[in-house]
Amino acid sequence: MVISAGLAAADTLPAGPGLFLEDRDGRIYIAVLGSEGIVARNASDDADTWEVVAEGRVQGLQIAPDGDLWMARDDEVMRYPRQGGEPVSRTPSFLLQGSPGPLLATRWGDVWCAGCGAVRRGDAMFEAAPFSPPGWKITPVCDDPFGNVWAIADDGQRRDMAVLTDQHPHGWQLLDLPANQLAGSWQGAVTDDAGFVWVALEASVLRVDPRSAGPHRSFANPVDARITAIARGGDQVVVGFADGSLRELTVDADGPPDWRVIQAGGDGPVQALLHARSGSLWVLRAGRVERLADLEQAWHEHWDEQPRMPAGNHDHIFARIGDRLYTAGGKTFFGWPAAVWVNLDHVWSYHIPSGTWRVEPPMLEPGKAYSGIAALDDELWLLGGLFRAGGGTRATETVEIFDPRTRSYRLGPPLPRKAGQVVALTVNDRLYAVGGADDESPTTEVLSIGAGETSWRVDAPAPGPVFQASGCVLDGKIYIAAGPSSQCPGLFVYDPEQDSWSQIEHPSRPPGAPLCTAFNGSVWVMGGRGAKSGQTASFAYAPDSGEWSRGPDLPSPVSWAAAAVVNGRLLIAGGAYRDGRVGDYFNTDRVFLLRGAK
């Protein structure tokens, strides 16, 4: 059976609740759940031609970060390997306690199945599912950028939201929402790009803010037809209705809701929605599949969105070893309520061939962030860092060395001084530590060390104190991009052979905490803080010509983010910016690849 977009009435999909998913390669899957369900995907060579994957009783569908397809079908839980081949039943491992319910695959690789006694973790091991509150049935529905998993809880008389956190990983916690906030049947749940969790009900949409224990806000249905579907939108969420209409809902912090009409009506109820990474809005309405361009934004012309980081993060930098990018520490809001800054003291790695993330073991010193990070002799060096200390920070001189082969740490030669936010870069098998700040002030100091050496060498100091800066290496020279916090804003070049510095005039006001990497023979300086707000502008400096050119704007006005080149394409990840939807700074979990050199 092959179906296509704009189906004839005789070829429509079944009625009932639906689900769209997108895999790593951008292929779209569609499922209609129920006793007469169906799962189909668009053909790899034609986005508007569909091929059937399964038919029958379909109870759930998800795609894990590794690309495997998981399906709850005919009372079995099946894994369909991404590489192809026959599906594998994992039903016994999930410890079914009745019929399997909806599935959820999280960004960490965990696969949840409602009505099951076990959960499959990202390392492919199964373990007992966390405890549920007595008498409550838990249906996991989404994760968030703060490290939490969210679920709909039902005790047979009322509904509530439940959360599973890193602080309390062994049991679900109820939010104890007012009964009227989850009255009626729920039509779906989704996390938006600002970290809010949204639950669609027939008569309202509930917005849960993981940064707060409550109260949480509900927004009344503006249409004289019940709500039937919800998905991540261009700004926050897009909502579908039983009369076929579509609206995008956006709310700034504590402001009033804005319901933007996308389509005023349609041929029947909206069954499922998906805002694809390409910007397209996929709609299943009255059994017919449509693809709309209403949510596409200017940045979609230049950037491809990728699988998200393990959590939102900023103040982090990439270092590459083999086929992995590594980033360490960073400071973010984490857990629930995610209201307090937390230092992330783990190393994360990004597997370039698969585009997936892995959380590595924690550093030796717990609670440390802002370490300089660079590769030397196929090991990861973590230089200095900052600890939380009362209302401020405390620097350390410790150097930790991470061995990717054993995924273990050992101590290296300590820095001569305490420092955090060091810019660490490697040139010709020598690691350089530029600037950073101790407990008093930033420094101009430049240190270096080679493989096998046990002490740091002092090199020519930077032109000014370097702080909240980033850098890259191009043709054997170090480039440092710094803003006003460094007290020497601009682009600076260090020549290790000459042990000397020079300055390059920036084409605009040098941004604070920008992204910086070498790409296509140029030094790219992107985003960062402007005079009053974050900015999206990118600039590329070509040393051969001494000229600057404009690159494509970033998808969001991030600062303190990581940038690298993978497979000849520019990758950016994380960062922070002031977000009107939040009313404060938001540490994003989003990752993007540049479509091509501009």
Q: How confident is the model at residue 222 (pLDDT cuts 50, 70, 90)?
A: very high
Measure the CA–CA gap between 428 and 440, rounded to whole angstroms: 32
Could you tell me which residues are beta bridge partners of residue 330? none
Q: Which residues contact 125 (CB under 8 A, 6 or more apart)?
A: none
Taking residues 102-109, what's their average pLDDT? 97
Q: Is the pLDDT reported for residue 538 higher than 70?
A: yes
Q: How many CB atoms lie within 10 A of CB 272?
A: 26
Q: Give the whole-number percent of the chain exceeding pLDDT 90.
A: 85
Q: Is the pLDDT reported for residue 126 higher than 70?
A: yes
CATH annotation of 178-293: 2.130.10.10
CATH class of 305-594: mainly beta
Sheet with strand 457-459: strands edge to edge: 423-427, 430-434, 446-450, 457-459
Of 185 and 383, the one with more pLDDT:
383
Are residues 178 and 204 in contact, defined by beta-carbon separation less than 8 angstroms? no
**How are the residues of the chain apportioned to helix, strand and coil, as percentages rounded to the nearest 5?**
5, 50, 45
Question: Can you give the pLDDT at residue 486?
Answer: 75
Q: What's the half-sphere exposure (Cβ side, CA atoms, 13 Å) at 60? A: 26
Query: One-letter amino acid identity for 212?
Result: S
Question: Can you give the pLDDT at residue 389?
Answer: 84
Which region, left, alpha or beta, applies to residue 546 given φ > 0 means left and ψ of -120 to 50 means alpha? Answer: left
Q: Which residues contact 8 (CB under 8 A, 6 or more apart)?
A: none
Q: How confident is the model at residue 598 (pLDDT cuts 50, 70, 90)?
A: very low
Taking residues 110-137, what's their average pLDDT? 96
Taking residues 68-89, what's their average pLDDT? 94
Longest dimension (CA), the chain: 77
> For the segment 261-306, what is each residue's pLDDT rounded down to a tens digit?
999 999 999 999 999 999 999 999 999 999 999 999 999 999 999 9
In 74-148, DSSP assigns E strands to 76-80, 88-89, 103-105, 111-113, 118-120, 126-128, 137-143
In 233-378, DSSP assigns E strands to 237-241, 246-251, 257-263, 270-275, 281-285, 288-292, 303-306, 319-321, 324-328, 331-333, 341-343, 346-351, 356-362, 368-369, 372-376
Question: Can you give the pLDDT at residue 220?
Answer: 97
Q: How many CB atoms lie within 10 A of CB 99?
A: 12
Of 5 and 311, the one with more pLDDT:
311
Structure tokens at 88: 């594998």
Tell me the average pLDDT of the chain. 93
Q: Is the pLDDT reported for residue 10 higher than 70?
A: no
Question: Can you give the pLDDT at residue 48?
Answer: 76
Are residues 491 and 484 in contact, defined by beta-carbon separation less than 8 angstroms? no
Q: How confident is the model at residue 1 (pLDDT cuts 50, 70, 90)?
A: very low
Question: Can you give the pLDDT at residue 11?
Answer: 61
Of 425 and 329, the one with more pLDDT:
425
> For the segment 549-581, what is each residue's pLDDT rounded down to a tens digit?
999 999 999 999 999 999 999 999 999 999 999
Q: Which residue has the tokens 């083999």?
A: 322
Please state the domain extents for the chain. Answer: 178-293, 305-594
Question: Can you give the pLDDT at residue 9?
Answer: 38
